[in-house]
Chains A and B, each alone.
Chain A
Amino acid sequence: MELYGPIFVLGGIGAAFVVVSMVVGAIAGPKRYNRAKLQAYECGIEPTPQPAGGGRFTIKYYLTAMLFIVFDIEIIFLYPWAVHFDALGVFGLVAMLLFLVNVSIAYAYEWRRGGLEWA
């Protein structure tokens, strides 16, 4: 049981830090609100991406994220294959090509459906 002692101590310190810093911040921190302070962080879009008067959600950022995933996943699988492609042989090559074709289809879908048009 004493083996877990340090873990409990660390957990206690962590919890204490959270509580203390929040309480001190609430008590001692200055509260001067202005326009800039109430705005969203500088991540680009408003926190509620609902256009005034209704309409579609702007999903440009999401589309960029989706594009990223398409290529990111591709790279993740290409790396180990590239390291051992000689050992993996023809089977590995065919499997990789099939995978690339499938990923490209997702890409083609996004392109055809206007995901690449920034407007």
Chain B
Amino acid sequence: MIPLTDSVPAAAIASPVITEEPPSIDYAVLSPMLVVFAAGVVAVLIEAFAPAARRHSIQLGLALASVLGAFVLTVLQVGAMPDAEAGMAPEEVAGVTTAMNSVAIDRPTLFLQGTILVLSFISLLLVAERRSGESAFAAQAATVPGSEEERSHVLAGSRHTEVYPLVLFALLGMLLFPAANDFLTMFVALEVMSLPLYLLCGLARRRRLFSQEAAVKYFLLGAFSSAFFLFGIALVYGYAGSVNFADIHEAIETGGSTLFVGGTATPLLLVGIAMIAVGLLFKVGAVPFHNWKPDVYQGAPTPITALMASGVLVAAFGAMLRVFLMAFGAAVADWRPMLWVVAILTMVLAAVVAVTQRDIKRLLAYSSVVHAGFVLTAVVAATPEGLAGALFYLAAYGFTTIGAFAVITLVRTHENGPEAADISQWAGLGRTSPLLAGALALFLLAFAGIPLTSGFIGKFAVFQAAVAAGATPLVVVGVLASAVTAFFYVRIIVLMYFAEPEGAGPSVIRAGTLTGSVIGLGVAATLLLGVYPTPVLDTLLPQPVEAALEPGMATEDGFTR
């Protein structure tokens, strides 16, 4: 049993204080999130009151405009950030916290939020795409698959315009998740992000039972991991006496809250860190918490898969970086071995299992697990360089993966058929539609980390940071794993260009403006970040002034406390 002091000092047990001072809320700092939230609320009202025929165009316009507006507001905030110049104290270049320190907006957060907004904008274009009056979403998801009523809804052209408010609410969660500065806000953000996604996963137009299965699996496992996360929060609160990240950091440095004598509460902290790690590792899909990913990525409507593989992954890693580098930054020696094991398992296991996959979406899901492992090496590094590498990697991977899923939406088994799931059906794509196959080949090469693509720079950045932090064995495993992944990426390329198609080969839908621009943006970002990454890397990497601080400061730098 954990010994308590004989008489607990009265001040140690904080009694709730009702102040007459209202909390100061910096609305300008929160504005991107508020814009997205307001748009989501208005979108629900549109669902309730606008005529059905005009809903789709109104919703799409509102969603795109709000995401664009939020992005502009984010960029304005980056401009308002003071530049790091020689002789400035770290507090001066740091960001701000607001709403009773529950939200922290600093440079990494703004980069993450900007990335998430851009990726969501691109995903929204995919969501909006309709081909001959058919979107990727079920006409009426409440109908039983294969029933008469479903047929009548399909024939009547019913549409789920609720997709847009759901995406906006999920986006609000994604924006808040990496910005949360205490565990309660983070948990709320986690749920706001996840709940709409559970629903969205079940809305696929084709293979509806698959889709519903994916939604139920994701919901059950997600709820389970949320419970772990919440329990971990409770334990860490027991240790530190606060849910605030800065307070937890301080409590770890001083050896626990005043309730405990001489650091006897360490087990609470360790179990708490482990349980919070379970919740966060589930969201990023690291082994052994990755099992939902292939099923959900396969069953969900492909535009939603694209959103999950890009925006949600960025948000989850943003939150993870903040929790581990900032809140638990002082306990790095305790959690580093755990993440070592998880990172190695993630890279090796997922790479090996991915080789055996036949379904293209499952394959990309396993590939996403492997990439999560690569980013974890940067988390293990726990340095400003690691943070910068992880942020760059996430942005680069997000663009590429949306592009890859956009290509998947176009390749069908036959005219008006479902998406060609089995990779053998992709044989001969290089001859029938060289442009599309070329784009996918570029995305796959970027996943594999071939030079002149963004994937190479990203991998280089995270591996370099890991080596600099002394995690060389991890990097060796990472390089070997990426060699394994290169095998199955190249196999698809070989299949597309050199294999004889069975029968007529895949049928390719002409890319509409929306999907076309998504693939174009993916290609452009993949090449641009691969050939000329300097501007992005320069803004991310710690400035020389900050690097000159003593090493102890450097581990937690970048994030505002």
Question: Which residues in A have some Cβ–Cβ distance to B below 8 Å?
Answer: 3, 50-51, 53-57, 59, 84, 87-92, 102, 105-106, 108-109, 111-113
Q: Which residue of A lies closest to B143 (CB)?
A: A56
For A88, the chain B residues whose CB sits under 8 A away are 18, 22
| A109–B48 touching, CB < 8 Å | yes
Please judge, given known A-B contacts A59-B142, A91-B22, whether A54 and B148 are in contact too, CB under 8 Å. Answer: yes
Please judge, given known A-B contacts A102-B41, A105-B45, whether A54 and B18 are in contact too, CB under 8 Å. Answer: no
Please judge, given known A-B contacts A102-B41, A109-B48, A112-B49, whether A55 and B18 are in contact too, CB under 8 Å. Answer: no
| A50–B48 touching, CB < 8 Å | no
B144 within 8 A of A: yes
For B49, the chain A residues whose CB sits under 8 A away are 108, 112
Task: Kindly supply a per-residue 1/0 record for chain B positions 11-31, scoring 1 wherever the CB is within 8 Å of any chain A CB and 0 otherwise.
Answer: 000000011101100000000
Which one of B47, B48, B140 has the highest number of Cβ atoms from chain A below 10 Å of its Cβ? Answer: B48
Q: State which of B41, B44, B149 has its C-beta within 8 Å of the C-beta of A54.
A: B149
| A53–B148 touching, CB < 8 Å | yes
Bound Cα distance from A57 to B45, whole angstroms: 25
Q: Nearest Cβ in chain A — how far from B116, in angstroms?
A: 23
For B48, the chain A residues whose CB sits under 8 A away are 105, 108-109, 111-113
Question: Which residues in B have some Cβ–Cβ distance to A below 8 Å?
Answer: 1, 18-20, 22-23, 41, 44-45, 47-49, 140, 142-144, 146-150
For B140, the chain A residues whose CB sits under 8 A away are 56
For A57, the chain B residues whose CB sits under 8 A away are 142, 144
Bound Cα distance from A92 to B23, whole angstroms: 10
For A102, the chain B residues whose CB sits under 8 A away are 41
| B1–A55 touching, CB < 8 Å | no
| B20–A108 touching, CB < 8 Å | no
Q: Which residue of B lies closest to A87 (CB)?
A: B18
Bound Cα distance from A51 to B56, whole angstroms: 30
For B22, the chain A residues whose CB sits under 8 A away are 88-92
Which one of A51, A54, A88, A89 has the highest number of Cβ atoms from chain B below 10 Å of its Cβ? Answer: A54
For A109, the chain B residues whose CB sits under 8 A away are 44-45, 47-48
Please judge, given known A-B contacts A102-B41, A109-B48, whether A55 and B20 are in contact too, CB under 8 Å. Answer: no
Q: Which residue of B lies closest to A83 (CB)?
A: B18
Q: State which of B23, B47, B149 has its C-beta within 8 Å of the C-beta of A55.
A: B149
Q: Nearest Cβ in chain A — how far from B233, in angstroms?
A: 20
Q: Nearest Cβ in chain B — how far from A4, in angstroms?
A: 8
Q: Nearest Cβ in chain A — how far from B73, in angstroms?
A: 20
List 20 contacting pairs A-B, 8 Å CB cutoff, sorted by A: A54-B148, A55-B143, A55-B144, A55-B149, A56-B142, A56-B143, A57-B142, A57-B144, A87-B18, A87-B19, A88-B18, A89-B22, A90-B22, A92-B22, A105-B45, A105-B48, A109-B47, A109-B48, A112-B47, A113-B48
| A54–B20 touching, CB < 8 Å | no
Q: Nearest Cβ in chain B — how far from A94, in angstroms?
A: 9
For B20, the chain A residues whose CB sits under 8 A away are 87, 89
| A55–B41 touching, CB < 8 Å | no
| A54–B142 touching, CB < 8 Å | no
| A56–B144 touching, CB < 8 Å | yes
For B23, the chain A residues whose CB sits under 8 A away are 91
| B148–A55 touching, CB < 8 Å | yes
For A55, the chain B residues whose CB sits under 8 A away are 143-144, 147-149
Instruction: Given contacts A54-B144, A54-B150, list 13 more A-B pairs with CB under 8 A.
Output: A53-B148, A54-B146, A54-B148, A54-B149, A56-B142, A56-B144, A56-B149, A88-B22, A90-B22, A92-B22, A105-B41, A109-B44, A113-B47
Q: Which residue of A lies closest to B147 (CB)?
A: A54
| A50–B144 touching, CB < 8 Å | yes
For B146, the chain A residues whose CB sits under 8 A away are 54
For A3, the chain B residues whose CB sits under 8 A away are 1
Q: Which residue of B lies closest to A86 (CB)?
A: B20
For A112, the chain B residues whose CB sits under 8 A away are 47-49
Q: Nearest Cβ in chain B — how far from A100, in angstroms?
A: 13
| B45–A108 touching, CB < 8 Å | yes
For B142, the chain A residues whose CB sits under 8 A away are 56-57, 59
| A106–B44 touching, CB < 8 Å | yes
Q: Nearest Cβ in chain B — how far from A89, in angstroms?
A: 6
Q: State which of B18, B144, B150 has its C-beta within 8 Å of the C-beta of A84.
A: B18
For B18, the chain A residues whose CB sits under 8 A away are 84, 87-88
Which one of A53, A109, A112, A113 has the highest number of Cβ atoms from chain B below 10 Å of its Cβ? Answer: A109
Q: Nearest Cβ in chain A — how far from B166, in angstroms?
A: 12
Q: Nearest Cβ in chain A — how far from B33, in angstroms?
A: 14
Q: Nearest Cβ in chain B — how far from A96, in angstroms?
A: 12
Bound Cα distance from A112 to B47, whole angstroms: 9
Please judge, given known A-B contacts A57-B144, A88-B18, whether A105 and B44 are in contact too, CB under 8 Å. Answer: yes
Bound Cα distance from A55 to B140, whole angstroms: 11
For B150, the chain A residues whose CB sits under 8 A away are 54
Bound Cα distance from A44 to B144, whole angstroms: 21
Pairs A-B, 4 closest by C-beta atoms: A54-B147, A91-B22, A112-B48, A109-B48
Bound Cα distance from A38 to B1, whole angstroms: 49
Bound Cα distance from A54 to B23, whole angstroms: 54
Q: Nearest Cβ in chain B — how far from A7, in angstroms?
A: 11
Bound Cα distance from A37 to B49, whole angstroms: 47
Q: Which residue of B lies closest to A106 (CB)?
A: B44
Q: Nearest Cβ in chain A — how far from B76, in angstroms?
A: 24
Bound Cα distance from A57 to B149, whole angstroms: 11
Q: Nearest Cβ in chain B — how far from A6, in angstroms?
A: 12
Bound Cα distance from A84 to B19, whole angstroms: 10
Q: Nearest Cβ in chain A — how far from B432, in angstroms?
A: 38
Bound Cα distance from A112 to B23, whole angstroms: 36
For B1, the chain A residues whose CB sits under 8 A away are 3
Q: Nearest Cβ in chain B — how far from A95, in angstroms?
A: 9
Bound Cα distance from A3 to B1, whole angstroms: 8
Q: Which residue of B lies closest to A3 (CB)?
A: B1
Bound Cα distance from A92 to B25, whole angstroms: 13
Bound Cα distance from A44 to B421, whole angstroms: 41
Bound Cα distance from A112 to B50, whole angstroms: 10
Q: Nearest Cβ in chain A — how far from B417, in angstroms?
A: 23
For A51, the chain B residues whose CB sits under 8 A away are 144
